[in-house]
A and B are shown apart, each in its own frame.
Chain A
Amino acid sequence: MSGAQGSYYLPNPSAWPIIGSIGLFTLLLGFMLFLNEGTAGPWLMIFGACVTAFMLIGWFGTVINESEGGLYNDHVGMSFRMSMLWFIFSEVMFFAAFFGALFYTRTLAVPWLADTDLLWPNYEGGWPTAGPKGPMPIDADTAVSNPATQFSTIGPWGIPVLNTLLLLSSSITVTIAHHALKQNARGRLILWLGLTVALGIVFLYFQAIEYHHAYTELGLTLGTGVYGGTFFMLTGFHGLHVTIGAIMLAVVWLRCIRGHFKPDNHFAFEASAWYWHFVDTVWVGLFVFVYVF
């Protein structure tokens, strides 16, 4: 039903959800076939990804039009804000599973494995480790000559600390942009928000360089035992979330340029900023537990 002034906006029937389901299903079906050597796999994946992207653009586009059309009151805005916070909580728990795996292997599983002399009597444990059958760790940032027998980790005080500074700065720039929006200083808003997106992109660029370095020179891959697995899954999923957050902020930036949002009403900006602070916080956890210690 269309929202009368003052009442809670309830949307009309919508085809976007079913389009989203078809997209998601096709994407995952394609991925599954790809993993199991089905020839149709990659094509289905591309098709599914396109349908999903079409759904996201269309659905969010509808929401943006409804919002700019003045259909949402504060009550609806509160629903959106609460939903975003709970969604971020679910993301926190997703990362918690991988942090849990990291802590469990480091503090329990690897020491137990080292203490057990039955299968691998000469395994010493320690961290980093690629397990008794994996390559041996050598000093951080040392290029290895034979990745089958050796691997090296990435020290925290090169690219990672730089990336930490980049993300922390971007949390500050997005806050400056938020204050500018509240004061209706559109020029400053667009500048600082644009800078935030740029910092995010630079972060991703550095991470790509780091991954390339790890794969080609350090012998550190996804298959480098439990160290490589936890390292790449944690930083990889984080990088994915930085990408999503940067896309969200970029959309908000474009909307700012178009003159969307008001000083007292800008949910999409707030949600993207919260999400950005969330990926920032996760990175601090990563920096401390994956790189430093």
Chain B
Amino acid sequence: MATADAAHHGEHHAHPTGILRWITTTNHKDIGTLYLLFSLSMFMVGGLMALIIRAELFQPGLQVVDPHFFNQMTTMHALVMIFGAVMPGFVGFANWMLPMMIGAPDMALPRLNNWSFWILPFAFTMLLSSLLTAGGGPASGWTLYAPLSIQGGMSVDMTIFAIHMMGVSSILGAINVIVTIFNMRAPGMTLLKMPLFVWTWLITAFLLIAVMPVLAGVVTMLLTDRHFDTAFFNPAGGGDPVMFQHIFWFFGHPEVYILILPAFGIISEIIPTFSRKPLFGYTTMVLATAGIAFLSFIVWAHHMFTVGMPLAGELFFMYSTMLIAVPTGVKVFNWVSTMWRGALTFETPMLFAIAVVFLFTIGGFSGLMLAITPADFQYHDTYFVVAHFHYVLFSGSIMAMMGGAYYWLPKWTGHMYDEKLGKTHFWLNTIFFNITFFPQHFLGLAGMPRRIPDYALQFTEFNVISSIGAFGLGLSQLLFVYVVIKCVRGGEKASDEVWEQPRGLEWTVPSPAPYHTFETPPRVA
């Protein structure tokens, strides 16, 4: 295999080396690595912003930053984490794993794949440099609600154009994923034989193509309202600021599933391996994913219960939202059933996977509480919402990615990571996560609003606990970076299978995976 590869390379044009290799690469593994490194660096940037927020909230009163800068931090933290850390992170996993999982030589459109990535550093240069402009960065919250965002300075324009660029990147990337899955599968790899990570990404890519253009449309309306005299969101001209929220959340709710479905896919790969059993209810997993995707298009206004809607609308969006609990429940049931009577071992990826199942479920239940319209009138825009979406986004999406990183790092680097340090990272991460975010449930139920730099005295204790947890959580990620670097640089040699009889084509190629895999498609029985 190795010699055949070397011989094949002889005929190639000279490949650029050094930085140019990474800028011009058309290789899915290179591009996957770029995405993952970009995601990790944005995770650190967004994390620093979170720590500024938590530092300010450590005590009541204003001590660290002024309120306007605080608002910029809450806005940027969300934008950076959603569009910079979580979405590119999953695309990184998709780039690395999809071709190997379906037995393809690469992504279907390798040059386009390169462009999808290389738009992102430019988009985030635009977004982050808005912090340096007069008046600072965007401060309207990541949802950019009109009319507040219409009144903002040039940083709002920079955010709009950055979103346009991220949208181009996401749409092109998603097209690549869908076409790869539909057109590049090895002979015998029928749709219902695909690993669940491939399935979840297929559906995620569909959601991306469906809703990123809608986001582009609504921020374009924002731009024309700001500069070209239109009145989409201005009642004096017959428009309606609430319409911004409707169109935004028509994007925003499927976006939530874009952020979580690939995580479900990663979990569905890890749990069977360390349970030494096939995934329980594979077909229902696929159907549940598709069901969640369908429902995601008809629930958006549950983000807007308090904004003023006809009663029929409130009821429709309440019941449709609660329906999502059914396919999600199917998934949790299947993960638990996969573990049931399995020969479980608890390596770091499995610890992360189990924690995700447990903690994501907590986030799911708080989501159900928020779905109940009359109750939401109390919870809306409180710290309860903040706690809810960090339980699904951090202990769902991000911890699933961490688990996935530990799971596939040996395949990527050819070395085992340091198991002891990995487990230490897991426990520090998970304990500090709960210290940070669990108290926020109580704060929210007690009435502390989100996105404020100061609060009433009775909220002090829980905020102190939350801030201490946040700094622990932030610092524990440095250990993650150390473990990754250590694993890249060396360590115990990983076998081709890495784990004990894992399922999937990626485990049939050497570790580290050669630069080109499956140039001749494998035959799948």
Question: B-contacting residues of A (Cβ < 8 Å)?
Answer: 1-2, 7-8, 10-18, 20-22, 24-25, 28-29, 31-32, 35-36, 59, 75, 78-79, 82-83, 86-87, 89-91, 93-98, 100-101, 104-105, 108-110, 112-113, 119, 129-134, 221-223, 225-230, 232-233
Contacts and interface: CB of A to CB of B under 8 A. Distances in A.
A86 B234 contact: no
B525 to A, nearest CB: 22
B224 A90 contact: no
A20 B27 CA distance: 18
B78 interface: no
Q: Which of B217, B224, B247, B516 has the most CB of A within 10 A?
A: B217
Contact of A105 (B122, B216, B240): B240
Contacts of B143: none
A12 B243 contact: no
Given A21-B118, A35-B227, A90-B209, A97 B179 contact: no
Nearest to B105: A8
A113 B12 contact: no
Given A17-B114, A22-B122, A32-B157, A109 B243 contact: yes
A12 B516 CA distance: 13
Contacts of B179: 79, 82-83, 86
B487 interface: no
Nearest to A36: B154
B228 A134 contact: no
Nearest to B116: A17
A222 B228 contact: yes
Interface string B155-174: 00110010011001001001
Contact of A29 (B26, B126, B220): B126
Interface stretch (B13-21, B36-44, B412-420, B421-429): B13-21
Contacts, number: 229
A77 to B, nearest CB: 10
Task: Identify whether the interface residues of A are mostly helix, strand, loop, or mixed.
Answer: helix
Given A13-B25, A90-B213, A109-B243, A225 B11 contact: no
A229 B118 contact: no
Q: Which of A93, A100, A129, A133 has the most CB of B within 10 A?
A: A93
Given A13-B15, A131-B234, A131-B235, A18 B161 contact: no
Nearest to B216: A94
Nearest to A13: B24
Contact of B108 (A32, A79, A104, A221): A79
A5 B243 CA distance: 54
Nearest to A27: B161
A228 B230 contact: yes
Contacts of A11: 26, 110-111
B214 interface: yes
B175 A83 contact: yes
B106 interface: yes
- Which 8 pairs between the two chains have the least Cβ-Cβ distance? A97-B217, A131-B238, A223-B229, A17-B115, A229-B230, A226-B238, A109-B240, A13-B24
B303 interface: no
Given A83-B108, A93-B211, A97-B217, A32 B161 contact: yes
Contacts of A222: 224, 228-230
Interface of B: 8-9, 11-13, 15-16, 20-21, 23-26, 105-106, 108-112, 114-115, 118-119, 121-123, 125-126, 154, 157-158, 161, 164-165, 168, 171, 174-176, 178-179, 182-184, 209-214, 216-218, 220-221, 224-232, 234-240, 242-243, 246-247, 250, 516, 519
Q: Which of B11, B164, B240 has the most CB of A within 10 A?
A: B240
Task: Identify whether the interface residues of B are mostly helix, strand, loop, or mixed.
Answer: helix
B514 to A, nearest CB: 13
B198 to A, nearest CB: 16
A112 B239 CA distance: 11
A128 B371 CA distance: 37
A32 B217 CA distance: 17
A7 B229 CA distance: 54
A105 B224 contact: no
Given A86-B175, A86-B209, A229-B230, 13 more contacts: A11-B111, A13-B20, A18-B23, A20-B119, A24-B165, A28-B164, A31-B161, A79-B183, A90-B213, A132-B235, A132-B238, A222-B224, A226-B238
19 contacts: A10-B26, A13-B16, A15-B23, A17-B112, A20-B115, A21-B119, A59-B111, A82-B182, A90-B171, A97-B213, A97-B247, A104-B240, A104-B247, A130-B238, A134-B238, A223-B229, A226-B230, A226-B239, A230-B232
Contacts of B110: 10-11
Nearest to A9: B110
Contacts of A12: 12-13, 15, 26
B236 A131 contact: yes
Contacts of A131: 231, 234-239
Contacts of B218: 97
Contacts of A227: 238
Contacts of A130: 231, 237-238
Contacts of B115: 16-17, 20-21
A108 B247 CA distance: 14
Contacts of B516: 1
Given A17-B118, A94-B217, A229 B126 contact: no
A96 to B, nearest CB: 7
B24 A18 contact: yes
B171 to A, nearest CB: 5
A21 B122 contact: yes
Q: Which of A8, A59, A113, A132 has the most CB of B within 10 A?
A: A8
B161 to A, nearest CB: 4
A218 B225 CA distance: 22
Contacts of B174: 86
B175 A25 contact: no
A229 B209 contact: no
Contacts of A59: 111
A7 B519 contact: yes
Given A32-B154, A93-B211, A25 B165 contact: yes
B106 A10 contact: yes
Contacts of B221: 97-98, 101, 229, 233
A53 to B, nearest CB: 16
A133 B238 CA distance: 8
B308 to A, nearest CB: 9
B26 A14 contact: yes
A35 B157 CA distance: 8
Contact of A8 (B121, B184, B217, B236): B184
Nearest to B239: A226
Contact of B224 (A17, A100, A233): A233
B224 A229 contact: yes
A137 to B, nearest CB: 11
Contacts of B238: 105, 109-110, 113, 129-132, 134, 225-227
Contacts of B227: 35
A13 B23 CA distance: 9
B183 A75 contact: yes
